[in-house]
Amino acid sequence: MNFSFSESQLMVAEAAREFAEKYIRPHVMEWDEAQRFPVEVFKKAGELGFMGILVPEMYGGSGLNYHDYIVIIDEISKVDPSIGLSLAAHNSLCTNHILSFGNEEQKQRWLPKLASGEWIGAWGITEHNTGSDSGGMATTAVKDGDEWVLNGAKNFITHGLSGELAVVIARTGEKGDKHGITAFAVERGVAGFSAGKKENKLGMRASETAEMIFQDCRIPDANRLGEVGEGFIQAMKILDSGRISIGALALGIARGAYEASLKYAKERMQFGKRLIDLQAIGFKLADMATEIEASELLLHKAAYQRNQGLPVTLSGAMAKMYSSEVCVRVATEAIQIHGGYGLTKDFPVEKFFRDSKLCTIGEGTTEIQKLVISRQIDRLG
């Protein structure tokens, strides 16, 4: 097995690193404290190919693979996880859903705008009373001639306010029937589609999270993605791959917190020694480095399987669960290593600490990942 990055992956990593240093790092705390979603940064990301990472070149994308995708999200999340989260949601959810399940006309119509950064994408499945239990969603889509009428609301939606295109999962059959759910693409500006409350969050504050509301929202049948009743199955497949991106986000957070802690431990003196020379601190850093390495290996195994067209339900869930729990542990230890300074905004670890918790919740909680894993190992023996 070859564990080395290819020359192209090293180039991709360098491009992402330079982008993050130039366009993101100078504004991290400004955006965080104002809870501002910096749309202009995503336009620039589109120019560099980061808004259509997995989209083939024929649709205006970069045509890269999942190894490249992990590298990009990792590098950007080391600087600001909020931007990494929004890039991941745009690429792996909305854009990937259209790429995976849209027909040719739909791909030609929407992918170039998404891949270029002209449009930012949103993806809506979560509702106020249905998080993990998405089969019980209340949002409905009723056929009326050649149109569908959507009614309901989605919440905790990344780019729910600013996204120009949303993939919306709605119920077209009986509640609880997993074959009674269908996916639709809804463009911003259509009558009956509006944004609701923007969430005031603990972390990931520069990544916009808001409600999407549908009130007698009429869209043409041409906006339906796939067959009627396939929406839930599509969504589960999108989430399988999406877990790789959240794992990559978690990896970047852990790496950012670790690198800041390593630097601090080498510079800070206590009892006449560097912090890193004190066993209590050195052992913390050793655990952090090892768990980050393990996270990265799990993620790239899932990426390899995804690139080969193999199922990633098990490997993606394992990578997401482990990486997200690791990033919380690493961020927590980073605060401890910094001591009182870790609680201040003069050092980056307090933000990594706040941002890390999203990773154990978004795109399936740790508990849901364990449920997925346990069912897979039971079925596969």
pLDDT over 90 for what percent of the chain?
93
On the question of pLDDT at 175 being above 80, the answer is: yes
Retrieve residue 272's tokens. Answer: 């006449």
The average pLDDT across 348-366 equals 96
pLDDT score, position 69: 98
Task: Give this prediction's pTM.
Answer: 0.96
Instruction: Quote the CA–CA distance of 247 and 35 in Å, as a whole number.
Output: 24
On the question of pLDDT at 35 being above 70, the answer is: yes
Instruction: Quote the CA–CA distance of 103 and 107 in Å, as a whole number.
Output: 6
pLDDT score, position 79: 98
Instruction: Quote the CA–CA distance of 201 and 206 in Å, as a whole number.
Output: 10
What average pLDDT does the chain have?
A: 96
- Segments in the chain forming alpha helices (H): 7-19, 28-34, 39-47, 66-79, 81-89, 96-101, 104-116, 231-267, 279-307, 313-338, 349-356, 366-380
Higher pLDDT, 285 or 133: 285
pLDDT score, position 44: 97
pLDDT for 37-65, tens place per residue?
A: 999 999 999 999 999 999 999 999 999 99
pLDDT over 70 for what percent of the chain?
100
pLDDT for 4-30, tens place per residue?
A: 888 889 999 999 999 999 999 999 999
pLDDT score, position 147: 98
Q: Do 147 and 218 form a contact (C-beta atoms < 8 A)?
A: yes
The average pLDDT across 239-262 equals 97
On the question of pLDDT at 377 being above 90, the answer is: yes
pLDDT for 314-330, tens place per residue?
A: 999 999 999 999 999 99
Place 131 in a pLDDT band, splitting at 50, 70 and 90. Answer: confident
On the question of pLDDT at 381 being above 80, the answer is: no
**DSSP string for 308-343:** TT---HHHHHHHHHHHHHHHHHHHHHHHHHHGGGGG
On the question of pLDDT at 1 being above 70, the answer is: no
Retrieve residue 375's tokens. Answer: 């069912």
Residues acting as catalytic residues: 363
pLDDT for 180-235, tens place per residue?
A: 999 999 999 999 999 999 999 999 999 999 999 999 999 999 999 999 999 999 99
